[in-house]
Chains A and B, each alone.
Chain A
Amino acid sequence: MKKRVLMITNLLETEALKKYLDDQAEKGWELMHIGKYILTFEKKEKVHVQYAIGIFSCGKGTMESNNKYLQLAQSLDYEFVGDRRGIVVFKSSTDLPFYSDEMVDKEYFEKQMHKNFFHQLGLLLLFLFMNYSILCDLRIDHFFSNAHVLLGICLTICLYEAVVFEYGIGSYIKYYRKGIKKTDYKRLEARSWIVWMSMFVSFVTFIIFVLCDIKYQNSVSFSIILICWIALIPLSMILYRYRYRFEKSIEMIFSVIMIFVSSIMITSSMMNQPIKVYRNPNNSEKYTIDTYDIPYSLCHDEACQLIENDIEESIFMKKQRVEEELNGIQYICEYYEIKYDFINKWIMNRIKQHYGLGLYEVEKGEYYYDFSNTDYDMFVQKNNQAFYLFRGNEPIDEEEFLKIREELPWK
């Protein structure tokens, strides 16, 4: 018969883990495998082993030093069972203790603990950054896409990492303040409950999120996910008080702060959602990208409507501007005695390419022929004023330009 136990430990809980394993062995459960999170036991009639928990080194030369560690222990009759997150479990029936010099062991332990602490901190920051990046990159056309799946997974991992890490922080602070190492494994069992419950809540939240997205669209699901995140805080507090009765603990405060900060980070990035809209009205290879600041609380249709209104408004403004410009052109052409029909036709063709029109004050006697050195395509000058059409983003067709110049009335 086998049993699997979810148990998350940090380096300061090696003694508690050893005690747990020894107690399990007394009850006839022998540890067969230690995974990253799961311990696998097998029921035996009698188990006569003693467990030892060693600490792997981290960082430079890790593999080589780990091999040395294992080889040395194995040569002294300690059998390797498994390892996880810098912790290695051995079992032995020898009378030789695994640790024997308090001073040397303490120094070695603290050195490894610092390395692991920063390693874990780095991982947590990486997950938070990943979550943030994913949330910032969600686009409106991805509302119903796989991005949600990735988001759900990342949120769960982030939550899990936060849970693991915060207990690590609490333990480290206690260790430095009081020099206490954890020996009570009830704490480890309580943590398993927290992680199971957190994962369960995350999973349920994710399912609700997806279902609500389909049924009611994201304005409702946003509220639900927010409520679920906030509900995690009292939930973990209640669970901790119920499962492991301890007084106000620094660990619990860190637990609340970490979950709260994670929730705020995630929700605030949702609130200020810049949504990129890719438009390609002419089915050309080139897309135009517009960024809209859409509140996440809007549902999909509302967000689309907002964007469509904005696009229509900009088209209307553009049309209005063209009409105004054409009126202006007519006036200017009359004033400058230019063939209006020709200019009007030319403008209508060119206006799509963002050409503009204006008046330019020039000094008396100045006259620009060389258009290549200016920002303008052409000038019409009378007295100290010049009528000009300025260049847009599109490259000018030289042949067409020369033709226009030839046909211009002032030539």
Chain B
Amino acid sequence: MPKNQLETLTEQMFYVLMALKDSEKNGVEIVEFIRFITQERILIGPGTLYAMLSKFENEDIITETKVEGRKRWYKISDAGIELLQKEMMRLKTMIRDYEKVGD
């Protein structure tokens, strides 16, 4: 069955990929990173995080690198970096468009 490629990312998906951009992280580290960087504006629950990680893994956007006890580490793939940059460009374009209109 062909995989459904992600066209756009939700805000929380964007932050999960952002968390993995510079280094490998496990679930707890991803949640803590997002909590810290958004100053607790965004809290990702385990149910949602699992759904996101399994979807990203199925679509080769991230890969699992190691397992230690209950913890699993993930890293972003080239396709994931590309997707993240594409989303960032989209957001920048939106901001530019908004600025063109002015306040």
Contact of A73 with B46 in the complex, beta carbons under 8 Å: yes
Residue A312 is within 8 A (CB to CB) of chain B in the complex: no
Interface size class of A (residues with CB under 8 A): 20 to 34
Complex interface: chain B residues within 8 A of A54 (CB): 46-47, 50
The interface bits of chain A over 179-220 (1 if a CB of B lies within 8 angstroms of the residue's CB, else 0) are 000000000000000000000000000000000000000000
Contact of A75 with B51 in the complex, beta carbons under 8 Å: no
Residue A99 is within 8 A (CB to CB) of chain B in the complex: yes
How many residue pairs between the two chains, A and B, have CB atoms under 8 Å in the bound complex? 81
Residue A394 is within 8 A (CB to CB) of chain B in the complex: no
Complex interface: chain B residues within 8 A of A97 (CB): 43, 45
Distance between Cα atoms of A100 and B30 in the complex (Å): 14
Residue A348 is within 8 A (CB to CB) of chain B in the complex: no
The interface bits of chain A over 82-121 (1 if a CB of B lies within 8 angstroms of the residue's CB, else 0) are 0000000000000111111101110110000000000000
Contact of B26 with A75 in the complex, beta carbons under 8 Å: yes
Contact of B27 with A100 in the complex, beta carbons under 8 Å: no
Residue B71 is within 8 A (CB to CB) of chain A in the complex: yes
Residue B13 is within 8 A (CB to CB) of chain A in the complex: yes
Distance between Cα atoms of A107 and B48 in the complex (Å): 10
Contact of B46 with A98 in the complex, beta carbons under 8 Å: yes
Asked whether A101 and B10 contact (CB < 8 A) given A72-B50, A75-B70, A108-B55, the answer is yes
Contact of A104 with B28 in the complex, beta carbons under 8 Å: no
Residue B12 is within 8 A (CB to CB) of chain A in the complex: yes
Of the residues B42, B43, B51, B72, contact of A104 by C-beta under 8 Å? B51
Complex interface: chain A residues within 8 A of B81 (CB): none
Residue B44 is within 8 A (CB to CB) of chain A in the complex: yes
Within the complex, what minimum Cβ distance (angstroms) separates A353 from chain B?
A: 64
Distance between Cα atoms of A73 and B46 in the complex (Å): 5
Within the complex, what minimum Cβ distance (angstroms) separates A83 from chain B?
A: 14
Asked whether A104 and B46 contact (CB < 8 A) given A65-B54, A72-B27, A75-B26, the answer is no
Complex interface: chain B residues within 8 A of A105 (CB): 47-48, 51
Distance between Cα atoms of A52 and B53 in the complex (Å): 19
Interface centre among A69, A71, A75, A101 (most CB of B within 10 A): A101
Residue of B nearest to A53 (CB): B47
Contact of B49 with A72 in the complex, beta carbons under 8 Å: yes
Distance between Cα atoms of A75 and B32 in the complex (Å): 12
Contact of A96 with B45 in the complex, beta carbons under 8 Å: yes
Distance between Cα atoms of A76 and B45 in the complex (Å): 8
What is B's interface to A at a CB cutoff of 8 Å?
10-13, 26-28, 31, 42-55, 70-72
- Give me the 6 closest cross-chain CB pairs, A-B, nearest first: A108-B51, A71-B70, A73-B46, A101-B12, A98-B45, A97-B45
